[in-house]
Every structure is written in structure tokens, then in C-alpha cells.
Structure 1
Amino acid sequence: MKYFLLKEITEYLSHNAQNIKFIKRIDNNIIIIEFNNKNTLYFDLSKSNSSIFKCKKNISSKKDFNAPFDIALQKRFNNSNIENVELYNDDKIINIRVNSSSSYKKQTTILQLEFTGKHTNIIILDENRVILEALRHIDEFSSSRVVKVGIKLDEVPKQTFIPKMEEVDNIEEYLYEIYEEKEKQNLENVKKQKISQIDKKAKKLKKTIDSLPKKEELEIESNALYEKANFILSNIHNIKPYQKTLKTFNYEGLELEIDLEEKPSASKYSNELFKKAKRAKQKALNISLEKDNLDEKLEFLLRLINNIKNASSIEECEFLSPKKEKNQIKTKKAQTYESFYFEGYKIMLGTSERENIYLLENSKASDFWFHLKDRPSCHVIVQNTKKTIPDSVINQAGVLCAKFSVESGGAYEVDFTQRRNVKIQSGANVLYNPYSTTVVKI
């Protein structure tokens, strides 16, 4: 973080912070400090990208941190009075000196926030600058500057260059802008990562589709195998064990030579050919269906990539493509629909007629069903055991239904009702009544 910004922030805190109401670590390298009058700042001490920022919404803690550093941080600084805030040693180090009065003695503690490249750290010191705790403990084998509990902290080697100074019109607004820029960059990084992962799946699927045999080729192969098997069968009495070839005449009276592959038994070989011919014929019948299913999966992945590109928040990206849990057990059977999770509800999306039929046939009467009004769309089911679901879940299911059914953005009407009110006519065609309609924007 730049020196002139730290200087501006230090002056801002000197005038606007008299006490610390609350302090806590909310991420591996981020602490939140609520000063008086609910003035909340976030201090990110990541080595690669340290910063200080403000946010208009509360950022929730990713997990509970209970290390000795966290215990000391809250014990020493919660509900403490600030004596002074300074830019320590005229370097990129903020010192917040506080005192807290207990029933028996007054304690003075220093919170040292170091934005100094490789030395970036949060260190808790007593009034004699002896280390009480630190975010990062550093031993003598890692650095010449040791950070260990119980020893006096050495000074950070000061840089010799003169820092460039700039003016900030409104430091508070600037702190909000830092967060917005940080979130914008984080969002772009998340999008790139998720799109890259989905794109790999899409390319692999496209390769599989392109490698599928053609229906016509399979039919030709099947007919050729049947013909060969029949010729062998009709000449079975003339074929000796391990014979290499069979010379005979085809149906047009032309001489024909058939390779017998030196098989020990001509009858067994003809049976093998009949089986292969039957499999090829069956595959020819199913290949169109298989290709249609794979094409629908590919279309879903391409729509998913497009929706992530247009996502406006990290939360939306995580909803559309959640991270896999480390200990997540792989299901043996492929899932016949796409599933999403929102506020504890499971939302299921059909991306093809086959999947839509499956959802209709396997959902419960109390589940909620969603479909675009008066136009073709995917079917969406929200698993539910009560009479109603929250408005936020209704909106999310409606948005999901629209995003994977239409090509362009805009406002769309989505009908929804409980599954008990949906009557299947044929395939995925249904009639439903009563129902409600919500308008979603995508």
C-alpha cells in the first residue's frame, strides 16, 4: 500500500477514532475494526496485496478464528480507548496505541500494522514494544528480523527512497473505492477461473460429440457383418477349422473372398459376427439420442459460461458454479438434472426434455415448479416440504429458469405453483392451475 495513502488514513483516524468498540479477524489476513460511532474499517495484510478499505455492507467472517493471536487481539483491543494513532518511524507502519482499564490495573497495548512488503504483518506489542502476539511468527532461520512472542521487536529496515506524495480529496470516499475496485478485480478473477474450468468440460464434451460414429456408417457396418455371417453360415459344411479364407459367390453371382481370420470354428465365428452386427444396428438406432443428449449438455455448459460472464457478483458466480467440497463423495450414477443450492433450498433444473420429464415424474407434491409464461422453457423444481417458500427463493428459481431458457436479457414472466397442481399431458407438456406469476430481470 502506498505511503501517501497510509499517511492520509492515519490523519483520518487521528481525528475520527477515539476508541475501538470491536475488533476481529474475518479472513486469514483481514481484520475488521469498529471505531466509535460505528465507523468500520477493514485492514487486509496480505503480503501480495495489502490494503485498507471501507464497505457499505457488512462482510461476514469466513470462519471462526481462535488462534492465540485472535484471543489476544480481542482481549487487548475490544472496548479500548485510543491514546494515539501515528505513522510509526515515518514508514509504512500504522501504530494504534490503546489503553483498557480493568478493575485492578491499566493496560497499554500497541497494534502495529505493517504494510512493508515482505515484512507485512499485524503485531501486538506491550508498552515496551515486546511482542505479545503476531499474525505471522518469523524465526531466525527465515529472516534476520525475528517475530516471536516475548522478545522486543526489531525495527523494520527503512527504505532510502523518498515516497511520492499525492493528494486525496476525500479519504473516506477513497476507502470505499478501494473496496469496490478490489471486489471488481476479485470478481474478474473468479469469472476467469470458473469459465476456464467449464470451458475445459465443454471442449472435452465437444471432442466426444465429434468422435461419435455416424448413424449411416454404423448401419453400413451392421449390414456388412450380417452379410458376412450369412455367407459363412450358408457355406459352413465346406469350411475347415483354421481355414484362412472362403471363396464363394455373392447374391449377384460374382465371386467373393471372405477372410475367416483362421478361426478354429466357423459356426462360432458366424455367431460372433451376428452379435457384432446386432450391436452395431442397436448403436445406430441409439446414436441420435446419445448425440442429442450430449448436444443439450454442451448447450447448458455454453449457457453457463455466458451467465457467469454476465454475473454481477462473486455470490452469483458461486451459486451458478459452486466449489466442490474437498471431501465430496463422487456419485456413481450420473445425475439426470442440474442442481443448485440457495438459502438452504435445493433448486433442480432440467436442461432437456428427458431431464424435464424426469423432474416432473420424480418431484414431490409439495415441491414448487417453475416455467416461463406462455413460451418454451426449461422446468425448474424447488424441493420443499411446506406450503410456501421465501420470496428470495422464488426470485432465484425464476431467474435460473429464464437464464437457461432465453438468449437475451430483459424482464420475463415466470409462472410457479406447487407440483400437485401440475398435470402431465405428454412428455414434458403440462397443464397447471392454480398458479402465481413473478417477473424476473436477467
Structure 2
Amino acid sequence: MKLYELQAVAKRLNDFTFISRARRIEDNTIEITFDKKNSYFFNMTRGHSFIYKAPSQRPLQGYNAPFDTLLHSLLSGSKLIGVDVLNNDRILRLTLAPKSSYKDKIIYLQFEFTGKNTNAILIDDNEVIIEALRHIDADSSFRVIRPGVELLPIPSRVLSHENTIDTHTENGVAGTQHPTDIDQLLEEKFMQIQQKRLREMKKQKLSTVAKKSEKLAQLLEKLPDEKALKEEEQKYKQYANLILANLYQIKPYDTKLNTYDFEGGEISIKLPKNIKVNRMSDYFFNLAKRAKNKAKNIHIEKENLQSKKAFYDNIYYALKQAKEPYELELLVPKRGKSQRKKEKLKEGELFWIEDYKVMVGRNANENQKLLSLAKGNDIWMHTREIPGSHVIIRTDKQNLPESVLQAAAKLCVDFSTDQPGNYLVDYTKRKFVKIQEGSNVEYDKYQTLAVLKEGVEIRE
């Protein structure tokens, strides 16, 4: 972030009178909404910090650290007294009067776009740190960033000519012109960053899902043929019976049995190691029984693998049509840091939508299992008139936000079909769903959401 750009941003923000909302929407990005309708985003990633302007965005996850709690309580509804660039350096300071204070009180929100010191810091009127986006200890820097510690100034530096002089930008928009010009610049920056990020995220997540689908395809390819398993069963039965018929001539140290089958043909049977002679027939009878059971159930295993592969193929197509990072992160969330985010399901896929636990079945068996796991007040979802995934939203007896229902309904459609179109998703409490057979159900007291699934415009 260049100094002249920051100065233009400060000039623009001084046009506003209050902050209606402040929250973190990503690990290093803070959204501040001025005068109810103007959202500016402060990305405080070290080495790549910048500001952009865009419509208000939905957080990728819930953030509940002390910094987030104070950011919300101190800034939401606060009066904006002024915005300044400090010490001719890349430090943007917002001076605020919190709405919640019972008497006149001043606090500061300081954004530091300064390399290794990049940070967002809440400060009181005595220059003492209230809280910060990232803490810095004494063993890392002379400038300690901790609650209750006085905020030391950043050492002054000599700025390069390009940082201090605003001649032009690559977009042809000068930062020192009219405030609406800096808005245009920040909006263009958002579009560039969004498209680049979308491409990078989409490429990475498509690769992840493609690998899962490919692995399932390999497992399907390796599945033994039912006919071959039945032939294997007959072979092992024959071996067992021939060993019983020739038990008297097998010595404990023999490694194979050369004899004649029941049709008079010569046959050589390799004998198992470390098994007593009188138990060798049982060994082959067990192999025959195992082959018989596998042949009997191989179609079930095949159907399970095929349905799981179809599930990931549907995710793949949904990823390709996604238009914003939030959709990508919802479909294929990154591994969470907390233990709760690392939670996994043995049957089905687990997602988190605004901190609500959402479980999705990938086939009939998993749909049935999720129905048994769901509590009475949990929300059950299914696409109307087409077979597909059952979705369970864990409510913990809370009323769900409309945004959670809409996002879960989109997941329900995305995981049930890869065909574009308009779909209806019925939902009701689990206690109003009656299991008929397997995962087939009847339900009442339901509501319906309409979901539009758009087509994939670009095919690889």
C-alpha cells in the first residue's frame, strides 16, 4: 500500500460520520461499513497488505477472538471523529467515539501497512493497547503488541520517491484526485484481486476434489468381478475337498499336493504354511466362504463407491460454476485450526456454515445413518422429486438464520445433481420425518426453498 494511496483513502473516509459495522471476514481481513452502506476492507496480510472497496461480504467462518469481540462492541455504531495518516508513514488511524461508552470517550483503530509490523490495533486515548489482530512478544521485536502495553511508535524511515509522489497509477486513477476516484481505484483493485484469488482457489480446490474422484475410480477399477469371485469360490471348495480326500498322504513338511481332481485330471495344490495338516481343508473352505460373501455383496460395494464418486463429481462441477471465494470455501473448506473444525464424520461429509454443523450424505447408506444421528429439532433437507443427498443441520434448538438455510439448500442441490436448472428443496425438523425403508422417507410440516443451479460456462 503506497503512502499517496493511503492519504487518498484517509481523505475519502473523512467524508463519513459513523461506523455501522466492523468485523473480521477472513483471517487477516477486516470489513468496516461506514454510514450503513459503504464497506471498505482492510487486508492486513504481512508483505501484501492493501485496502479495497466492495459490497459487504459474508465471513468465511465465525471469528470470536477477544480482538473480534472488542472490534464489534467498540466500533459498531461509533462516531467517526477523524481519519489520519500518521507521521507521513503508511499508518492509517481512525479516531472514534464508541456508542457504548457512558461518557465522552475516545479510542483509536490503527492500521499499520508497514511490512513486518503490519497489524490492526485498538488503542485507548492514553496510547495503551486495548487489543490487536496479532500479538508480538518482546523476544520477536522491541515493539511489544499486547493488551495493557503502551504502543511505541514505529521508527521513522526514508520513503522512496514512488511512495510519496502520486504521479499516476497503473489504472490511470490518481489517488489525490476527487474521493470518488479513490473509490473507483479500490473497487478495481477488489475486482482484480477477487478474480486472481478465485482462479487460484478454484484451481487448488478442483485439484483436491479431482484426486478424491480419481481415487474412487481406481478403487472401482480394482473391484473383483462377481463371476471371477464365484469361480474362485468353486476352486477353493475343490481344493478343500481334494485335501480331505488325500489327507492320509500329506506330510507335515509338504509344500504342495500333487493329485488328481474328481474328473481325473492332474492338479497341483500349493499348501498353506504354518497350518496343521488336519486344518488345511478348513483353511480353503474359509477362503471359499469369503469369496462367496464377497461375490454376494460386491454390487453393494460397487454402488457405494459409484455414489461417492458421483458426489465428488457434483462438487467438482459446483466448484467450476462458483463465482466467489465464499462458495469455494463452503464446498471445500480448508482444514480448521481448532479441534472442532477438524471433526470428521465416519459416514458422510461435514461442513460448517456460519458456525452451524451441516452433515451431507453421499449415498443411501450414509443418508440412512445421518437420519439416525439427527436430533428431533435438527433440520432435515432434501431436493424435491429427485434422488440425492440428505442434509442435516445441527440446530442445538436455535432458530437458524435465513442465510444458513439458503447456503445449506444450495449444498443439497449441488451434491444431488450436476445438471443446471431450478430446483425445490424441502426442509423440516427431523422429528417430522418418518423413515419408510432404508433412506426413503415421508415428511410433513415442511417449508420449501427455490434454488437456481447455473450451468458451467467453461469446460476444461
**TM-score greater than 0.5 by the shorter chain:** yes
Please state how far the C-alpha of 1:242 moved relative to its aligned partner. 2.0
Aligned to 2:382: 371
> What is the identity percentage for the equivalent residue pairs of Structure 1 and Structure 2?
34
Letter matched to residue 62 of structure 1: Y
Give the AA of the match of 2:90: I
Aligned with residue 252 of structure 1, among 243, 263, 268: 263
Work out the CA distance in 1 between the residues paired with 2:401 and 2:417. Answer: 25
Structure 1 match to 2:159: 158
Q: How does 1:69-108 map to 2 (within 5 A)?
A: 81-82=81-82, 85=84, 93=90
* 1:8 aligned onto 2:8: yes
What displacement does 1:260 show?
A: 3.8
CA 226–188 in structure 1, closer or farther in 2 if over 3 Å, else same? same
**Residue 291 of structure 1: which of 292, 302, 327 is its match?**
302
- Which of the numbers 209, 214, 227 marks the counterpart of 2:220? 209
The runs of 5 or more residues in structure 1 that have no matched partner are 101-106
Equivalent in 312, 334, 339 of residue 327 of structure 1: 339
Kindly report which structure 2 residues correspond to 1:340-359, keeping only aligned pairs within 5 A, or say none: 340-342=351-353, 346-359=357-370
- Following the alignment from structure 1 to structure 2, what is the Cα–Cα distance between the partners of residues 201 and 157? 52
CA distances 1:280-308 after superposition (whole Å, capped 9, x unpaired):
22222222221221221122122123223
SS of corresponding position for 2:241: helix
Aligned counterparts, 1:25-424, within 5 A: 26=24, 41-57=40-56, 62-65=63-66, 81-82=81-82, 85=84, 93=90, 115=113, 154-159=155-160, 164-166=167-169, 167-168=173-174, 170-260=181-271, 265-322=276-333, 323-328=335-340, 335-342=346-353, 346-360=357-371, 363=374, 368-382=379-393, 391-419=402-430, 422=433, 424=435
393 and 13 in structure 1: CA distance in 2 versus 1, 3 angstrom threshold: closer
Please tell me the residue identity of whatever aligns with 2:413.
Answer: A
SS of 1:213's partner is coil
- Select the structure with the greater relative contact order (CA < 8 A; seq sep ≥ 6): 2
Q: Secondary structure at the match of 1:376?
A: coil
Equivalent-residue separation in structure 2 for 1:397 and 1:96 (angstroms): 39
Secondary structure at 2:157's aligned position in 1?
Answer: coil
Map of 2:456 onto structure 1: none
Distance 1:124 1:147, change over 3 A: farther
- Deviation for aligned residue 1:353: 2.5
- Distance in 2 separating the partners of 1:8 and 1:98: 17
Contact 1:56/1:176 (CA < 8 Å) preserved in 2?
no
**1:165 is matched by which residue type in structure 2?**
H
Do the aligned partners of 1:10 and 1:87 also contact (CA within 8 Å) in 2? no
C-alpha contact 2:90 2:113 (8 A) present in aligned 1? yes
Structure 2 CA distance for aligned equivalents of residues 273 and 382 of structure 1: 49
Higher mean C-alpha displacement, 165-174 vs 270-279:
165-174
Does the 8 Å CA contact 1:10/1:94 hold for their aligned counterparts? Answer: no
Q: In the superposition, relative to structure 1, how do residues 252 and 22 fare at CA in structure 2: closer, same or farther (>3 Å)? A: closer
1:352-402 per-position Cα deviation (integer Å, ceiling 9, x unaligned): 222334445665665554433334333344456879866555544433332
Alpha-carbon distance between aligned partners in 1 of 2:402 and 2:58, rounded to the nearest angstrom: 23
Question: Are the counterparts in 1 of residues 363 and 388 from structure 2 also a CA contact under 8 Å?
Answer: no
Structure 2 CA distance for aligned equivalents of residues 123 and 433 of structure 1: 52
Q: Call closer, same or farther: CA 1:309–1:251 in 2, change over 3 Å.
A: same
Give the conservation status (yes or no) of the 8 Å contact 1:380–1:401. Answer: yes
How many angstroms apart in 1 are the aligned matches of 2:137 and 2:376?
63
**Partner Cα distance (1:330, 1:46) in 2:** 24
Question: Does the aligned pair in 1 maintain the 2:236–2:288 contact within 8 Å?
Answer: yes
CA distance in 1: counterparts of 2:272 and 2:47, whole angstroms = 68
Asked if the contact 1:25/1:65 (under 8 Å) is kept, the reply is no
Alignment correspondent of 1:104: none
1:234 Cα deviation (Å)? 0.6
Aligned-partner Cα distance in 1 for 2:407–2:11: 44
Q: 2-side partners of 1:419 and 1:366: how far apart? A: 6
User: Aligned partners of 1:235 and 1:423: how far apart in 2?
Assistant: 59
Q: 1:111 to 1:369 in 2, by over 3 A?
A: closer
2:86, 2:93 within 8 Å by CA — same for their partners in 1?
no
Distance across 2 between alignment mates of 1:97 and 1:364: 47
Whole-Å Cα distance in 1 between the matches of residues 208 and 191 of structure 2? Answer: 26
> What is the aligned-residue RMSD (CA, Å)?
5.0
Alpha-carbon distance change, 370 to 249 in structure 1, aligned in 2, over 3 angstroms: same
Q: Which moved more, 1:182-191 or 1:205-214?
A: 182-191
Distance of 1:141 and 1:388 partners within structure 2: 46
Instruction: Give the CA deviation at 1:406.
Output: 2.3
The 1:417–1:211 alpha-carbon spacing in structure 2 relative to 1, beyond 3 Å, is: same
**Residue-pair matches, total:** 421
Using the TM superposition, give the Cα deviation of residue 233 of structure 1 relative to its aligned residue in structure 2, in angstroms: 0.7
Please give the per-residue CA displacement for 1:128-177, whole angstroms capped at 9, x wherever unaligned.
xxx9779889999999xx75778775431332567752434722233334
Cα distance in 2, alignment partners of residues 9 and 213 from structure 1: 66
Normalising by structure 1, report the TM-score. Answer: 0.71
Aligned AA (1:8):
A
1:170 aligns to what SS in structure 2?
Answer: helix
* Structure 2: tracts of 5 or more residues without a match: 98-104, 145-149, 175-179, 454-460
* Greater Rg over alpha carbons, structure: 1
